[in-house]
């Protein structure tokens, strides 16, 4: 947010927010019924009203410590709000893309359900989330969130349909131990894709199943990472108005040709392809992967669930990036929820996801539990008072060397973030096939692949106009 480009982007976003807010306010002023509903929504939850809400993404029983922390947080919250009962629903992973929409459309979703930013706009368009604008308007923790991250959970009129839990921009995650073994300096990670390619060759030459550079190509993760790489080159997936595909471009050819060269000319990406999210996490956790595109939270996830040693890993900014994909997740509220349930849900989310020193940001507890602390994995607030306080606590309780992530914090600060394309999951599914073809077929024709994918994505976008 510090570069001129980022500042300009934020200014545009702020103007958009301002304009939308003005429109909404004007509409409500002219409609007494709506104004009355807004006023009722702004009223605090009556402490004498008993409310139960089901909440998704409770850690599974196999994650004993995380589950215990969740349950302790629920207990603390319910002690503070004795009229609210949290009915926790566990799942791992929290979202299965293949079943998420069916569960949502079938009315089986929790009152408060977990989402990726990727899904938010289609959920809003399909009216599968409650409009919480008026309920959240007076919540200070929500006001503190960087407007860019709230923007991903708003519709075109600026109405809010969810609250963020995590926000990040993409970088390059790398194994410092493998860098040293390959004769590379782990304190000087790659700044260019030529340097990435050179490092990947040296790391893969270590043998013993070590892969220099890993990439996704299945379960929509290939399209997701293609988008990250394309944004880094300065390209776009769709036109500015989101109505047509824009990725059949020189920038996309550069991305795909580089991957193709690493896979087939350098043999630095391993022979096994078709990776989905958990596959690269397992490789990273087992110490067999040199580099992958990812945000710092990858390190935390690899440590928590895939056996990685956090000290072995580091993150730097995306090489040569002109922009970086903004990612994250959050919660939305079932449109069938009652007004009291929505109020209870916002109280819970504010407490557990948006309070520095509590819930997910209880760094003192995380350190006591032996988890990695000090990784800049969540940039919800930026440089405001909440962000400064969170950074201070993160450094106070740090258990990982801050230097392992200094290149990311310094480099990413100058790279403007860019949001995901419309109909992201459907578009990513198409782009998976492009990534898969390049990584599994030495004779893959990049021009043909992009042209064919362009037709399919244009058809998807045409159906949603």
Residue 464: pLDDT band with limits 50, 70, 90: confident
The per-residue pLDDT for range 373-406, each reduced to its tens digit, is: 999 988 888 778 898 999 899 999 999 998 999 9
CA distances 237 to 170, 416, 440, Å, are 16, 16, 23
What rounded mean pLDDT belongs to the chain? Answer: 88
Topology match between the domains 51-169+328-369 and 171-325+402-462? yes
pLDDT attached to residue 264: 98
pLDDT digits 0-9 by tens, 19-69: 332 333 333 434 545 567 777 877 889 999 999 999 999 998 888 888 999
User: What is the percent of the chain where pLDDT is above 70?
Assistant: 92
- Residue 171 pairs with which residues in a beta bridge? 294, 317
Q: Show me where the domains of the chain are located.
A: 51-169+328-369, 171-325+402-462
| Residue 244 burial (10 A CB sphere; 0-12, 13-18, 19+) | middle
Assess whether pLDDT exceeds 50 at residue 190: yes
Crossing angle of helices 250-260 and 424-440, rounded to 10°: 40
- Mean pLDDT over residues 104-129, rounded? 87
Question: What is residue 18's predicted lDDT score, i.e. its pLDDT?
Answer: 31
Mean pLDDT, to the nearest integer, of 423-443? Answer: 96
Give pLDDT, residue 11: 31
pLDDT higher at 22 or 342: 342
pLDDT band at 327 (very low <50, low <70, confident <90, very high): confident
Write down the H helix ranges in 169-320: 176-181, 193-204, 221-233, 250-260, 277-285, 297-306
Task: Report the CATH fold assignment for 171-325+402-462.
Answer: D-Maltodextrin-Binding Protein; domain 2 (3.40.190)
Report pLDDT digits (tens) over 271-318.
999 999 999 999 999 999 999 999 998 998 898 889 999 889 999 999
Give the CATH number of domain 51-169+328-369; options: 3.40.190.10, 3.20.20.140, 3.90.1310.10, 3.40.190.150. Answer: 3.40.190.10
Question: Is 135 or 420 the better-scoring residue by pLDDT?
Answer: 135
Read off the pLDDT of each residue in 326-339 and give the average, rounded to a whole number: 93
Would you place residue 151 in the very low, low, confident or very high pLDDT band (cuts 50, 70, 90)?
confident
328 pLDDT higher than 80: yes
Q: Output the pLDDT for position 19.
A: 31
Say if residue 364's pLDDT is above 50.
yes
Per-residue confidence (pLDDT) for residue 211, from 0 to 100: 98
H helices within 48-167, ranges in order?
Answer: 64-80, 97-105, 117-125, 133-136, 140-143, 147-151
Helix-, strand-, coil-residue percentages of the chain, each rounded to 5:
50, 15, 35
């Amino acid at each position: 947010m510090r570069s001129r480009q980022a500042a300009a982007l934020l200014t545009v976003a702020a103007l958009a927010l301002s304009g939308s807010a003005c429109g909404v306010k004007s509409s409500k002023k002219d409609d007494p019924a709506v104004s009355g509903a807004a006023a009722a929504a702004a009223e605090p939850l009556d402490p004498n009203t008993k409310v139960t809400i089901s909440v998704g993404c409770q850690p599974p029983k196999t994650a004993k410590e995380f589950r215990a922390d969740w349950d302790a947080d629920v207990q603390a919250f319910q002690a503070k709000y004795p009229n609210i009962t949290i009915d926790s629903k566990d799942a791992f992973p929290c979202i299965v893309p293949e079943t998420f929409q069916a569960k949502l459309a079938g009315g089986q979703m929790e009152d408060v359900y977990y989402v990726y930013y990727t899904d938010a706009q289609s959920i809003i368009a399909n009216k599968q989330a409650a409009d919480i604008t008026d309920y959240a308007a007076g919540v200070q923790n929500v006001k503190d969130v960087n407007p860019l991250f709230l923007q991903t959970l708003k519709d075109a009129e600026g109405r809010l349909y969810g609250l963020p839990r995590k926000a990040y921009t993409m970088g390059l995650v790398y194994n410092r131990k493998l860098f040293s073994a390959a004769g590379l300096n782990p304190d000087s990670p790659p700044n260019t894709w030529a340097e990435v390619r050179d490092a990947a060759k040296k790391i893969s030459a270590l043998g013993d199943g070590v892969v220099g550079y890993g990439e996704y190509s299945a379960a929509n993760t290939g399209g997701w990472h293609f988008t990250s790489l394309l944004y880094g080159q300065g390209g776009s997936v769709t036109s500015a108005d989101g109505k047509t595909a824009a990725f059949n471009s020189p920038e996309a050819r550069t991305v795909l040709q580089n991957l193709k060269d690493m896979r087939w000319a350098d043999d630095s990406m391993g022979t096994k392809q078709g990776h989905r999210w958990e596959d690269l996490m397992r490789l990273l956790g087992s110490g067999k992967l040199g580099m992958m595109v990812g945000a710092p939270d990858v390190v935390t996830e690899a440590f928590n669930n895939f056996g990685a040693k956090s000290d072995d890993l580091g993150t730097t900014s995306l090489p040569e990036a002109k922009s970086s994909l903004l990612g994250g997740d959050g919660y939305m509220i079932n449109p069938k929820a009652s007004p009291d349930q929505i109020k209870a849900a916002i109280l819970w989310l504010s407490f557990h996801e948006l309070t520095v020193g509590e819930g997910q940001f209880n760094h003192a507890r995380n350190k006591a539990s032996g988890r990695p602390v000090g990784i800049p994995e969540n940039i919800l607030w930026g440089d405001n008072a909440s962000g400064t306080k969170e950074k201070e606590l993160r450094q106070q309780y740090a258990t990982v060397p801050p230097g392992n992530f200094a290149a990311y914090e310094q480099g990413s600060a100058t790279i403007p973030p860019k949001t995901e394309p419309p109909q992201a999951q459907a578009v990513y599914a198409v782009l998976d096939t492009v990534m898969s073809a390049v990584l599994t077929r030495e004779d893959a024709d990049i021009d043909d692949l992009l042209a064919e994918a362009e037709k399919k994505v244009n058809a998807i976008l045409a159906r949603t106009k």
